[in-house]
Chain A
């Protein structure tokens, strides 16, 4: 029997998660044989976590944030700076990445949470640019455009045993473990009473406010939370790259996570962002190996998705899976898109 989404939303671990983890756990055994490399697996997992965190704001809350790369980057710098200046402990540094990015997100949320639509979108861009400029110009702290180098993959100390993560395969499994825990946490968050209120605010801010919910606080908190998890992913990314660069904070890279989320179908599905990241990074490597102009083809694909498939890949899969008409799915995708800039008014 195929489980319905209703029963899934009450679960701690869903069948989809189990299947996904099992498949991901086998990746190091075959990835080299299909012409790719283990590092790609690490990258996909980290970006998936980042995109899932981003989708809390875009898909769940319906808030157009186009400067999210800032928090990913802040997490990476926080991880490195904590390692160099505070204490070289994996858990402390990851916590620092989470906390510092979360604080930055909370600070920005103070300024933007009473805004909607285009003004909200542009304020997120402006703050993203501010953080990016600061990262590039503060040579002494961040290393400027050269980046913060020589970040180490600290060993994972569980008390009873300590694992060395320097190798790509060991690090892959560590990231997979963290990814698994984070996915459970995000899944519970989205399906918690809190998550339901966020979804209600997405549908209509006015209605939620009239029901007595403090809309501002919910919008601010989901943004800060999303920034914190993005920063956490950024901390992992700093470990993966052994460095932190300002690149990921640029408007371009912030745009990529939006594209990944939308192409994958983040507006209609929890898993959309993950699908999008898979497609994007694999396309980058496969098409990128054939031609320099892979962004050209991905751009064309993106245009086609926006024009013809606003529900994204996940939407198409869900429609087939649940035997629902693609049309209803498309309407759902269209409505979700519309709400992003309609700012919560059904038209």
Chain B
């Protein structure tokens, strides 16, 4: 049994990362009933922006770049965790402005629109940074490994899992415990009443969408040191994100988190026995669940399936 422990731990940390990746996707699906297929590309964009900011040639004017590079690595990393998602948020604004035309119509419009946007962003990444792999520098404090029970553990994985827990917790607090969250949920539930109460729904939707894209970027920055940075990373992220949402059930916050953990465990444990096939396990898991439970684990009735 103890042999399995590393794989279970590995699966759990991976699961938290899946949940983190799915978080922004879930917000936009749950609160706006829109499927944002560009989620993966925004995730990749976050990682690329962070890589550029942390790298030797930051995108600033010469004198500012000098003082930026003079900062300690840890400070730069902390600032990057804010700056890169903010930049991705700007891209999110542009997508939302296009997407506006599709509100009130079928969600498939949004899905196709964001599919196109994903293609465009991925192509732009290829044009700007080429197809080679990059590495994101991280501060020494979270890098390296430690020995526990005769095994070497990667510090970064635990740091990443910790960040995932923190971000998931903060988002839950924001949605469930603040008046902003209440308004947003009400807007998703009955837009007419919310408008009648004098709330600017257009701005509210923009905020939710941009928040979702920024979460995608944060996930990208956190996951980048583990998966590496390459143009394809967007697709590698959006499929598990989509899968986690469908498995957990559309509209269920904890459903998505549990689904993320389940997917992580499935991938981690199957990786222990047949590493070649470990990615297959998440699809098998999905098929097994959705065949018997029409709306995933705890899905609510939604426009997306009507």
Contacts and interface: CB of A to CB of B under 8 A. Distances in A.
Contact of B304 (A118, A255, A299, A300): A118
Task: Decide if the interface of chain A is mainly helix, strand, loop or mixed.
Answer: helix
Contacts of A295: 119, 122-123
B173 interface: no
A127 interface: yes
B150 interface: no
A141 B64 CA distance: 57
B239 interface: yes
Interface string A298-323: 11101100110010000000000000
A303 B98 CA distance: 9
Contacts of B302: 118
Interface string A52-72: 000000000000100000000
Contacts of A114: 294
Majority SS of interface residues in chain B?
Answer: helix
B109 A306 contact: yes
A193 to B, nearest CB: 28
Nearest to B127: A293
Nearest to B122: A295
B287 A126 contact: yes
Contacts of A116: 305-306
A137 B277 CA distance: 8
Interface stretch (B44-52, B80-88, B200-208, B242-250): B242-250
B101 interface: yes
Interface residues of A, number: 45
A340 B286 CA distance: 22
Interface in B216-262: 235, 239, 242-243, 246, 250
Contact of A262 (B112, B124, B127): B112
B99 to A, nearest CB: 9
B158 interface: no
Max chain B C-beta neighbours (<10 A), residue from A126, A302, A339: A126
Given A255-B115, A303-B117, A306-B112, 10 more contacts: A117-B305, A122-B242, A122-B243, A129-B239, A130-B280, A295-B119, A299-B120, A306-B102, A306-B109, A340-B108
Interface of A: 64, 111, 114-119, 122-123, 125-127, 129-130, 133-134, 137, 251-252, 255, 258-259, 262, 292-293, 295-296, 298-300, 302-303, 306-307, 310, 334, 337-343, 345
